[in-house]
Amino acid sequence: MKKAIQLLISLILVASCSEDNTIDKVPDNSNSTFISGVDISSYPEIALSNPTFYDFDGKQKDFFTILQTNGINTIRLKLWVNPVNEHSSFNEVKQFSKFLKSKGFKIWLTLHYSDTWADPGSQETPSAWKGLDFITLKDSVYTYTKKVVKEIDPNYIQIGNEINSGILHPYGHISNNFENFIKLIQTGVSAVRANSKECEIILHFAGIEGSEWFFNQVNPIDYDIIGLSYYPIWHGKSLANLKSTMRTLSETKNKKILIAETAYPFTLQWNDWTHNVVGQNDQLILPDYPAAIEGQKKFIDEIKSIVKSTKNGIGFCYWGAESIAWKGSQSTNASSWENQALFDFSNKALPVLTEFRNQ
């Protein structure tokens, strides 16, 4: 496993070298208080295909340099407990985080507390923790979270991912085992507080509807930041509703607030044979935000504007920024997100990247 991780990081280092082997000068975005983030959790896997990326002018350039020169200062990474392969494992995320820190990025970790995807529809307990009594499960959550904080030392950490329905089902189901849900979240929070004075804690809810109810339920929790996912396909097509909800949450909870996940397509076309998540006009906000290069840019401009106009609004994160069709045009099991990436079908930077600049 360690050899595989070392090989991955070596490939990332090679891929991050520009074609002419020159070192690009990049701005120092680390002092910015506004989070301009991207989730690139799949980059270590994508890097195995040795892709090349291009700046707006078509010049081949280091992937990370493109991100930094456009103001991106924070990288969000998902973390699975014992995944089926090395991707999103503790060792991979630890090594990748170390590399990203050396580039000047802040690190935002999202702990799924699962071996696979955790979201409102699935919060599956890791296989190694199934069948544990509740006290032992809490100890496992504490020990695991402590290890993450001490060894990776993130700037931001999510205790769970899109925890609308709770975490670690059935132990921490928010409807069936509410008291245990609170105890599990508090356990993760305690591990962070005891082992880091700087790391800020995010509680992450997917969507707008039900968010006020949810954040009322977690009042007993000691956390720093409200995180919301917002995708029009799942969370409604009213940006006005997003804005008013963020304002209400920020003011009533007196918490910092951000958009933890969002994305928008620059086309409805495909670049491989993997079924895309967004592929129809009725999934868009029309006519204002078409699935076009300018529509994608305009959408993120509005997301940024909404956050900046919100009291305590501190930033946003774009999900799947790196999700090109990395296995080739014939693949049926690669990217379902290539039409929502921040690079076009030739891996050229899209204009939406300029919206991450903190002007």
Active-site positions?
162, 261
Token pair in block for residue 54: 């291009």
Quick check: 34 and 106 in contact, CB under 8 A?
Answer: no
DSSP, residue by residue, 101-129 = HHTT-EEEEEE-SSSS--BTTB-BPPGGG
CA distance 73 to 62: 16
CA distance 41 to 339: 17
Cis amide leading into 287 (omega within 30): yes
Q: Which residues pair with 157 in a beta bridge?
A: 109, 201
CA distance 137 to 239: 40
Token pair in block for residue 145: 């979270």
* Angstrom distances, CA of residue 273 to CA of 105, 266, 329, 342: 33, 18, 7, 19
- Cα dihedral 88, 325, 60, 67, rounded to 10, equals -50
Q: Hey, how many other C-beta atoms are within 10 angstroms of the C-beta on 58?
A: 10
CA distance 83 to 42: 13
The SS3 of residue 42 is: coil
